[in-house]
Every structure is written in structure tokens, then in C-alpha cells.
């Protein structure tokens, strides 16, 4: 879904003036946008933008199965898009240090008001780490620092775990981000980070909060219970005999977990 997500994000961004039906791009307007496209090539991304602006099916555009009326819209869309200050870098496998350097250079030479990274799991850290969670922590932290340094928003697209598909609403949550493994407590009004701890590995399940306790399970079967409070407090830790992708259920002080082959109940310590 990465390409569709990037296309949707671009359609909502002011620099391309909302590339959805009914909204045209004003000539010579828009803010400079930099795109680090590690998944899609430059031409593939251009085809998507062109199809969106011209309001034609992207597959039919690729196969040149367009009508004469659509061809006229495509010609107009090419003219409009050529006026948009958008800079696409489709170099594969870029380390986060290189993305940071190229963004700095782009802001100095051309100006930069928005940076999009597609997608964050394809970015490499600046050095080798013992696990992917620590590497992702460096990458996300560097992007946050870059946003503050250049005074621009940085949009990092991420893969999600399959836990999203199991919910009736299919609405993603922070816990669905792949390769994260970091638990963060935010102040609900301001969004200020109260604490952030790397306590488990990557998780496909969502945390559950019951009676002032937060229950988390990693995909490798690590189980932790922390206190739902302004200060971090680890209450319990356990290890399952096998991994789990399912969100735990909590009732009467017990946690129920479904692993790959078992249903496990964990009770409170005596």
C-alpha cells in the first residue's frame, strides 16, 4: 500500500494543491516539496501524479488506453505539474545521514517547505545496530531533528502490521507501525512526550489498558505490564514459549493471549 499512501498524501498536500477531482493546480504556485522515494521510481511516481491530476485511471495511462478527451486533460495536467516545485530523489537504500544531507542541500539551493520519506522501513541507519528497533529509533529521531533544524514538516510513510486488518474499522494506531518496539506516553492535550521506553521488540498487536495498567505483547512473545502514569514504571515482565500477533485480552486481573498454537492465561503474581 506504500504507493497508494504516498499518492494520497500528495493529494492532500498544499504544495500540489490537492490533486483530487475538481481541484486544479494554479500555474506557478505551490511550495517546494522534496520526496525521498525509496520504494517507487521517479517515473512511476510521476505517472501516479499525472493520472491523479488528469483524473484518469493510472493503469490505462500506463498502457496508453486513453480516450481523446482524456488525452486533452493529460496535456493540461503536464503543464500544471511542470509548474510545481517538486524534487524527487528515487535513490534506493539511502541511509538516514544521506537523506539529512540531501534535504539540507535542497533547502539551501532550491528551498524546501515539506519533506516526504517513502517509506521509513527502507531507510538504513548510519551504523550497524544489534536489532532493527534501535535502528528505527535512530531513523525516526533523526527525521524529527531534521524537521526542527530546517523548520519544515517531515512526512515519513510507514508500513503497518496486519493487526489493522483484524479491526472492524481498519483504522491504524501507533502500535501498528512496523519495527517500532518503543512505548511512548504523551500528554493528551499538548502531545508532549512524558516518557519513552524501549521495553519490547517489534509488535503486531495493540497495547491494552485496564485498571491503570498497560499490557503489551511483542511478536516474539515478550510480555510486559507497565503502569499508566506520568512516570514510567515497569510492573511485570514475562516470556511466552512462542510468538504472538494477537492483541491480548484482560479480565479479572488475568491476561489471555493467543499465540501461534496456544491460548495462554497469565495471572497476577502472588
CATH of the domain at 212: 2.40.128.630
What is the mean pLDDT of the segment spanning 21-46? 69
Annotation marks residue 39 as catalytic: yes
pTM of the model: 0.54
User: Percent of the chain at pLDDT above 90?
Assistant: 3
* 126-157: pLDDT as tens digits: 787 766 667 777 888 888 888 888 988 888 88
**Last residue of one domain, picked from the residues 110, 141, 157:** 157
Query: Do 38 and 104 belong together in one domain?
Result: yes
Contacts of 261 (CB under 8 A, 6+ apart): 242
Of 260, 257, 259, 239, whose CA–CA distance to 248 is shortest?
257
Query: Do 247 and 193 belong together in one domain?
Result: yes
Is 232's pLDDT higher than 70? yes
199 lies in some domain: yes
Query: Do 120 and 10 belong together in one domain?
Result: yes
Please tell me the distance from the alpha carbon of residue 93 to that of residue 37, in angstroms, as a whole number: 10
Cell readout for 188 is 493528551
Out of 21-25, 90-94, 186-190, 266-270, least confident range: 21-25
* 10-23: pLDDT as tens digits: 444 433 434 343 44
Contacts of 122 (CB under 8 A, 6+ apart): 38, 39, 92, 93
Backbone angles phi, psi at 10, to 5 degrees: -65, -35
* 38-80: pLDDT as tens digits: 888 888 888 888 888 888 887 777 777 778 888 888 888 887 7
- Domain of 65, in residue numbers: 2-157
Catalytic residue among 39, 53, 135, 222: 39
Please tell me the distance from the alpha carbon of residue 2 to that of residue 159, in angstroms, as a whole number: 7
Query: What is the tally of structural domains in the chain?
Result: 2
Q: Are 97 and 68 in contact (CB under 8 A)?
A: no
Amino acid at each position: 500500500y506504500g504507493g497508494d499512501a504516498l499518492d494520497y498524501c500528495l493529494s492532500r498536500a498544499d504544495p500540489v494543491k490537492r490533486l483530487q477531482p475538481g481541484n486544479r493546480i494554479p500555474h506557478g504556485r505551490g511550495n517546494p516539496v522534496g520526496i525521498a522515494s525509496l520504494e517507487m521510481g521517479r517515473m512511476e511516481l510521476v505517472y501516479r501524479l499525472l493520472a491523479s491530476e488528469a483524473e484518469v485511471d493510472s493503469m490505462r495511462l500506463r498502457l496508453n488506453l486513453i480516450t481523446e478527451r482524456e488525452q486533452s486533460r493529460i496535456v493540461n495536467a503536464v503543464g500544471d505539474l511542470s509548474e510545481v516545485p517538486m524534487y524527487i530523489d528515487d535513490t534506493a537504500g539511502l541511509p538516514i545521514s544521506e537523506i539529512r544531507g540531501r534535504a539540507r542541500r535542497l533547502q539551501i539551493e532550491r528551498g524546501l517547505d515539506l519533506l516526504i520519506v517513502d517509506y521509513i522501513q527502507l531507510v538504513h541507519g548510519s551504523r550497524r545496530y544489534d536489532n532493527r528497533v534501535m535502528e528505527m529509533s535512530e531513523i525516526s529521531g533523526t527525521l524529527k531533528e531534521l524537521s526542527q533544524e530546517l523548520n519544515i514538516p517531515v512526512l515519513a510513510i510507514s508500513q503497518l502490521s496486519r493487526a489493522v486488518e483484524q479491526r472492524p474499522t481498519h483504522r491504524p494506531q501507533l502500535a501498528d507501525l512496523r519495527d517500532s518496539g518503543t512505548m511512548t506516553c504523551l500528554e493528551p492535550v499538548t502531545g508532549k512526550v512524558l516518557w519513552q521506553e524501549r521495553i519490547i521488540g517489534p509488535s503486531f498487536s495493540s497495547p491494552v489498558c485496564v485498571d491503570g495498567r498497560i499490557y503489551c505483547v511483542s511478536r516474539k512473545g515478550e510480555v510486559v505490564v507497565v503502569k499508566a502514569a506520568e512516570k514510567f514504571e515497569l510492573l511485570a515482565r514475562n516470556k511466552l514459549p512462542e510468538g504472538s500477533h494477537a492483541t491480548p485480552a484482560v479480565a479479572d486481573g488475568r491476561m489471555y493471549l493467543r499465540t501461534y498454537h496456544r491460548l495462554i492465561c497469565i495471572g497476577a503474581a502472588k
